[in-house]
Amino acid sequence: MSAESPNVRQVQGYCSLCIARCGTVATVTDGRFARLDPDPTHPTGAAICAKGRAAPELVYHKDRLKRPLRRTRPKGDSDPGWEEISWDAAFDQIASAMRRIAEQHGPEAVAFSQSSPSTTAIADSAAFVVRLMNAFGTPNMVSALELCGWGRGFATRYVFGVGSVATGSGGGAMADIAESGCLILWGYNPSFTRITHATATVAGLKRGMKLIVIDPRNVGLANKADVWLRVRPGTDGALALGLANIMIERGWYDEAFVRTWSNGPLLVRSDTDRLLRADDLLYGGGAGQFVAWDSGSSRVVSYDAAVGRYEGGAATLALRGEYTVATRDGPTACRPVFDRYAALCRKYSPEIIESTCWITRDQLQEAARTIWHARPVSYYAWSGHEHHANSTETARAMAMLYALTGSFDVAGGNMLFPAVPAGSITGENLPAASQLAPAVGFAERPLGPARWNHVAPRDFYRAVLESKPYPVRGLIGFGANLLLAHGDPVRGRAALAALDFYAHADLFMTPTAALADIVLPVASCFERESLKIGFEISAEAQSHVQLRQAIVAPPGEARSDTDIVLGLAARLGLGEHFWNGDVDAAYRQQLAPSGITLDELRAHPAGLRKPLITRHAKHAASDDSGNALGFGTPSRKVEFWSETFLDHGYSAMPDFVEPTMGPIARPDLAASFPLILTCAKPSLFCQTQQRSLPSLRKRALDPEIELNPATASARGISNGDWVDVRTPAGGMRARARFSEKLDPRVVVGEHGWWQGCDELGLGDCDPFDPNGTNFNLTIDANVRDPVSGTPSHRSNLCEVRPVRGCFTSAAPDNIAE
């Protein structure tokens, strides 16, 4: 903090409103937070966005929650009768409700919910919230993981043993854009959604990096791309297999990597479609061992997954062909996994890709050529592929395509950047944590988010309304705006209303918060301290450790989420597990392994650097027994074939599944609903937030739907007209925005619109009104990915019609049809 004049001070920090976590300098004039600017000395401080610049508007917004509120009227009542109460009274009521529910139904009957760390500052407190869950004994975290993070950070673990694209909170591999020869932005538009990545991409382009953008829209950096693939929404899985097909046919793949580091050489029995095991062999072999064909000696060799070693080396293992092996069942035809993968990819010929993905052969070929010849390659895939009911297999197919490049964890590839050593505070070793019930959704989808204790809202609603698989009666919410962010808000509302008890902590009274029994006011990230160890996007950024200061005091009695957790823990009698309320003690525990002290960080608000050593290809390093570390999969290799998937009734390899509500799967619907509806995030707002900030809202008054002018004119729609968007599941309204480069068969909407903006005379919109502005009323929430439960937010059949008369978000009822 440097005082420049008595009335002006500047505070270095970082903005936490979104995943970019831009390094910033705040100016406080006469005690008032006046402006936010980029901090070019910070590893993520090259620029900030309009949302960051609007931070003072957020901080001082009149609608901020300021005091704990208690509902005094029933949930069906239009007036909740909010009554201000003290924090003590709020904590008492929440703690006693949690205890009561736990006594009746078990602690798992109290779920928690949390907003995504990519779109809010909840990462400041997420570890504390998980610790409270572990201390209390509930596994159930209701979150958006199945829509956000699942594809890139979890589904890919079944291929690489680790997220092959990092998730918001930092786990997994990260595109090393600074050194990439080629970057693939796959359903990801960082110009709007993570400007630090956009800045890095522009710098890469300046030094000659190739760029491939895979997006139905020509948006963000697509116009600077060497190849822009205008993929049909929901067909990215086919595209990944089609690209791999060309690369395998041309020999454009890293054969040594595939042979040495993937399970590509392991033999698959053609009779059972399972991996051949050494104890299947006629002359037997070690239990738990697999088998490959060695072309050098023309015989089988065994592979011991426990140590990651083949008997003999890997140099001459066969990747292609058919081999007859003497097994206990007689001579048995077998093929290497890689041969099976190549056969799967062959189904996705350029002709099929042209008809499936709407991408020409030339473009497909050009993309494959660029990927191979411009190595090292990195990729970042996000919502574009994650918001589909086939997202798991799509993400796996992408990860396997990526494995062909051999770029994993090399400079310029998707790298496991080094991290400052830090202590965990999530409390997995607390007594109650060892007895957690399986999370809701685990029984149906044991490989999905519930395996990591994340509960899809849809499954949570069922547990509340139908007690399946067991009753959930309480919810402690940290931000998550369930009713706006997910499909079927009507069922969501019924579930929230049916809870015995719901407490919600937020900055604003959202439609979700409005169903709570107790609402807690949260300090924004500009009003609270927080520790961040590593800034993710590069090795340099990873070395940065910062204790963000509060720029100003929170409004009224608002508190940080961390303080709320500590306060609640104390009231639950769990204070001893929460440093007796001393947050500094928690930070010290986190910092201890780093060698950086809390006092040093307090003295250096701009943060400190902990020099880190970058090591590449860590899978090739040896463990204590001299075996290569390999990958964290059951086979210790990158898995083109997953026995784990087979064991759970899924296919071993990620074949493409047509979008369930698409024109090919449902030709019967295509006459009434001839267009495909997908969506994307706006640059000016995060998800369901910030519509009440005038400087942002005046630049985007209403939700928009992008469509090709030809599509519009065929329906009598002019640019800017209000239109009705209908799907078989429901509908919404938005303003038409013309986009010449969009395929005439595709339209693109936005979700998250509910909040009014008084300064501009715009009222709130009813999120349950089928003629309103809630995009997620167009979704059929029952259509879900079989592995993860992800619903399809981005590939649904629809029709768009002009709405006659006047319709503005200021007067949503004023529609004359």
Ligand X SMILES: Nc1nc2c(c(=O)[nH]1)N[C@H]1C(S)=C(S)[C@@H](COP(=O)(O)OP(=O)(O)OC[C@H]3O[C@@H](n4cnc5c(=O)[nH]c(N)nc54)[C@H](O)[C@@H]3O)O[C@H]1N2
Alpha-carbon gap, residue 264 to 338, rounded angstroms: 4
CB of 51 to ligand SF4, least distance (A): 4
Contact of residue 447 among ligand X, ligand SF4, Mo ion, none (CB under 5-8 Å per partner type): none
Nearer residue to Mo ion within complex by CB, 325 or 395:
395
653 binds Mo ion (CB under 5 A): no
Which member of 11, 13, 21, 399 binds ligand SF4 (CB under 6 A)?
Answer: 21
Told to check if 189 binds Mo ion by CB under 5 A, we report no
CB 627 within 8 A of CB 306: no
- 153, two tokens: 């950070």
Return the residue of 51, 71, 197, 793 that touches ligand SF4, per CB under 6 A.
51
Write down the least CB distance from residue 594 to ligand SF4, Å: 23
Which member of 46, 65, 121, 653 binds ligand X (CB under 6 A)?
121
114 to 133, contacts with Mo ion by CB under 5 A?
Answer: 116, 118
Q: Which is nearer to ligand X, 47 or 646 (CB)?
A: 47
Is 222 an interacting residue with respect to ligand SF4 (CB under 6 A)?
no
- d(CA 729, CA 555) in angstroms, rounded, equals 41
Picked from ligand SF4, ligand X, Mo ion, none, the partner binding residue 21 (CB below 5 to 8 A depending on kind) is: ligand SF4
Preceding amide of 654 cis, omega within 30: no
Task: Single out the residue of 57, 176, 179, 236 in contact with ligand X (rule: CB under 6 A).
Answer: 236
Find the part of the chain contacting Mo ion (CB under 5 A) among 143-151, 355-363, 366-374, 756-764.
Answer: 143-151
Q: How many residues bind ligand SF4 (CB under 6 A)?
A: 11
Task: Choose, by CB under 6 A, the member of 12, 13, 18, 560 that binds ligand SF4.
Answer: 18
Q: With beta carbons less than 8 A apart as the criterion, state whether 496 and 483 touch.
A: yes
Nearest-angstrom CA–CA distance, 334 and 331: 10
Site for ligand X in 723-762 (CB under 6 A): 748, 751
Smallest separation, CB 349 to ligand X (Å): 20
Strands 309-310, 299-304: parallel, antiparallel or unpaired by DSSP? antiparallel
Candidates 49, 337, 398, 503: give the one binding ligand SF4 (CB under 6 A): 49
Taking residues 379 to 408 in sequence order and writing x for each that binds ligand X by CB under 6 A, - otherwise, the string is ---xxxx-----------------------
Question: Which of 805, 677, 789 minimizes the C-alpha distance to 742?
Answer: 677
Report the partner that residue 52 touches, choosing among ligand SF4, Mo ion, ligand X, none (CB closer than 5 to 8 A by kind): ligand SF4
Cα–Cα distances in Å, from 709 out to 519, 712, 715, 725, 740?
46, 5, 10, 16, 6
Q: DSSP assignment, residue 439?
A: P
Using the rule CB under 6 A, is 688 a contact of ligand X?
yes
704 touches which of Mo ion, ligand X, ligand SF4, none (CB within 5 to 8 A by kind)? Answer: none
Contact flag: residue 45 with ligand SF4 (CB under 6 A): no
Task: Give min distance, CB of 152 to ligand SF4, in A.
Answer: 19
The span of 45-53, 291-299, 310-318, 349-357 binding ligand SF4 (CB under 6 A) equals 45-53
Cα separation, 169 vs 496, whole angstroms: 28
The stretch near ligand SF4 (CB under 6 A) out of 20-28, 151-159, 514-522, 634-642 is 20-28
Span of 95-103, 143-151, 337-345, 647-655 interacting with ligand X by CB under 6 A: 143-151
421-480 positions binding ligand X, by CB under 6 A: 478-480
In this structure, is the dihedral angle defined by the CA atoms of residues 130, 136, 142 and 145, taken in order, positive or negative?
positive
Question: Of 322, 169, 155, which is closest to residue 236 (Cα–Cα)?
Answer: 155
189-218 binders of ligand X (CB under 6 A):
189, 192-194, 214-217
Using the rule CB under 6 A, is 20 a contact of ligand SF4? yes
Which secondary structure element, helix H or strand E, spans residue 213, and what is its range? strand 210-214
Quickly count: other Cβ atoms within 10 Å of residue 740's Cβ: 8
Contact region with ligand SF4 (CB under 6 A), list: 11-19, 306-314, 376-384, 463-471: 11-19
Pairwise CA distance, residues 243 & 368, whole Å: 6
Span of 185-193, 259-267, 614-622, 759-767 interacting with ligand X by CB under 6 A: 185-193
In three-state form (DSSP H/G/I as H, E/B as E, the rest C), the secondary structure along 705-773 is: EEECHHHHHCCCCCCCCEEEEECCCCEEEEEEEECCCCCCCEEEECCCCCCCEHHHCECCCCCCCCCCC
Cβ within 8 Å of residue 738, ≥6 positions away? 706, 707, 708, 709, 712, 719
Task: Cis check for the bond before 376: say yes or no (omega within 30 of 0).
Answer: yes
User: Phi then psi for 379, rounded to 5 degrees?
Assistant: -140, 150
Interaction of residue 259 with ligand X, rule CB under 6 A: no
Q: Return d(Cα 514, Cα 481) in angstroms, integer.
A: 10
Consecutive H or E run containing 132? helix 126-136
148 interacts with Mo ion by CB under 5 A:
yes
Cβ atoms of 512 and 480 within 8 Å: the answer is yes
When asked if residue 122 is in the footprint of ligand SF4 (CB under 6 A), the reply is no
Rounded Cα distance, 158 and 147, in Å: 17
48, 38 Cβ separation under 8 angstroms: yes
* Contact flags string 172-211 toward ligand SF4, x per CB under 6 A: -----------------------x----------------
Q: Are 717 and 802 in contact (CB under 8 A)?
A: yes
Q: Residue numbers of the site for ligand SF4 (CB under 6 A)? A: 15, 17-18, 20-22, 48-49, 51-52, 195
Q: Residue numbers of the site for Mo ion (CB under 5 A)? A: 116, 118, 148
Q: Residue numbers of the site for ligand X (CB under 6 A)? A: 18-19, 115-116, 118-122, 144, 147-148, 186-189, 192-194, 214-217, 219, 231, 233-234, 236, 382-385, 478-481, 484-485, 505-508, 510, 522, 525, 561, 678-681, 683, 685-689, 748, 751, 775-776, 793-795
